[in-house]
Chain A
């Protein structure tokens, strides 16, 4: 091994040791279970009308430039014959995986899970733009932000709304209340109640990612029995 590489590895080792110590202190700081939250979002496809108010609100509130998006409503259809046709609308955004592949592959720690909220976040200044997370995310929702040049995606409006005690922009903009946001650890929350009582499903659960974007599937879809 040549000298420069050895130096680099030694440095990296020191850096890693430093980082893990830092993470340990951070974790112990927030170790009181009372302050823990596990934010989740539910999209009721039966209520969704595909109006795109949510995608527009997300873009506006979070200053998401044209060409990239944190949220998309994917439309499939029409199903059926005129004049009784329907469409199916599916929400595509970060699933805030409990076991997040984007976090697992990030070499700098820029992609991380906030222990306070369970939100998967990005530390812009740590992101080196290596695109590992974008390749690893099974839901294809990450992108490089054209302005910050760092990886970006839905953060449940943590910076723009939650920090002010407000609900996410997409949730408040939805005219049909198809979106329900809340804390899964709060048994009184609407999202907890719905997840417990409704036939919810999650995308690509078999991958073991434990996503926190729940969906109530549309009764009318591609497969009509």
Chain B
């Protein structure tokens, strides 16, 4: 009888392990992928990152805006690329992410605030945001992509 707790612990440990592997494969199955947007945006639309977690109940429109006339007529859909003003791109992000908290975590957030879009460094759709694993040297190199003196 005394072995029962041990057995329970073991079983729960074993059952926990495959969960990790399952998570990414099930990302395609998460709630966000049941959105009508996915009917067309199968390839470019999948949300593998943490924002695809069903518990967050984030939908495509939360960030990209309402569909309106898209795709045939005009719409205010936000496309996260250089063509869209930074302020427009930052707006949906700071709905959830408090700018002050971001600044405390990483000071460079404060100086770029609404001048550089979040998407210029961060990527939400891939499984892992590349910013999570930058080294100190990567970081300095990234600054230089924009901050290069025009002299010389």
Interface residues of A (CB under 8 A from B): 47, 49-53, 56, 75, 77-78, 82-87, 175-177
A52 to B137, CA, bound (A): 9
A85/B143 contact (C-beta < 8 A), A56-B137, A75-B107, A177-B149 known: no
Complex contact A82–B99 (CB within 8 A): yes
A177 to B143, CA, bound (A): 14
Question: 14 new A-B pairs (CB below 8 Å) besides A49-B147, A51-B140, A175-B144?
Answer: A49-B143, A51-B139, A52-B136, A53-B140, A53-B143, A56-B140, A75-B107, A82-B100, A82-B113, A83-B114, A83-B115, A175-B149, A177-B149, A177-B152
Interface: B151 (CB within 8 A): yes
Closest A-B pairs by Cβ, 5 of them: A83-B113, A51-B143, A175-B144, A53-B140, A177-B149
A175/B143 contact (C-beta < 8 A), A56-B136, A82-B100, A83-B113 known: yes
Interface residues of B in 61-106 (CB under 8 A from A): 99-100, 103
* Contact indicator per residue, chain B 28-62, by CB within 8 Å of chain A (1) or not (0): 00000000000000000000000000000000000
A78 to B152, CA, bound (A): 31
State which of B99, B139, B149 has its C-beta within 8 Å of the C-beta of A83: B99
Contact residues in A for B144 (Cβ distance below 8 Å):
51, 53, 175
Complex contact B149–A47 (CB within 8 A): yes
State which of A50, A52, A83, A177 has its C-beta within 8 Å of the C-beta of B151: A177
Complex contact B107–A77 (CB within 8 A): yes
Interface: B110 (CB within 8 A): yes
Say how far B110's CB is from chain A's closest CB, in angstroms.
Answer: 4
Complex contact B113–A85 (CB within 8 A): yes
A86 to B110, CA, bound (A): 7
Contact residues in B for A47 (Cβ distance below 8 Å):
149
Say how far B81's CB is from chain A's closest CB, in angstroms.
Answer: 21
A177 to B151, CA, bound (A): 8
User: Could you show 24 A-B contacts with beta carbons less than 8 Å apart?
Assistant: A49-B143, A50-B107, A51-B139, A51-B144, A51-B147, A52-B139, A56-B136, A56-B137, A75-B107, A77-B110, A78-B107, A82-B99, A82-B100, A82-B110, A83-B99, A83-B113, A83-B115, A85-B103, A85-B111, A87-B107, A175-B148, A176-B147, A176-B149, A177-B151
Contact residues in A for B148 (Cβ distance below 8 Å):
175-176
A50 to B139, CA, bound (A): 11
Interface residues of B (CB under 8 A from A): 99-100, 103, 107, 110-111, 113-115, 136-137, 139-140, 143-144, 147-149, 151-152
Say how far B18's CB is from chain A's closest CB, in angstroms.
Answer: 39
Considering the complex, give the chain B residue whose CB is closest to the CB of A80.
B110
A75 to B114, CA, bound (A): 21
A84 to B111, CA, bound (A): 7
Contact residues in A for B100 (Cβ distance below 8 Å):
82
A53 to B137, CA, bound (A): 8
Contact residues in B for A176 (Cβ distance below 8 Å):
147-149
A175/B103 contact (C-beta < 8 A), A53-B140, A87-B110 known: no
Contact residues in B for A53 (Cβ distance below 8 Å):
140, 143-144
Considering the complex, give the chain A residue whose CB is closest to the CB of B141.
A53
Contact residues in A for B110 (Cβ distance below 8 Å):
77-78, 82, 85, 87
A85 to B113, CA, bound (A): 8
A52 to B148, CA, bound (A): 14
Say how far A175's CB is from chain B's closest CB, in angstroms.
Answer: 4
Say how far B112's CB is from chain A's closest CB, in angstroms.
Answer: 9
State which of A52, A56, A78 has its C-beta within 8 Å of the C-beta of B103: A78
Considering the complex, give the chain A residue whose CB is closest to the CB of B135.
A56
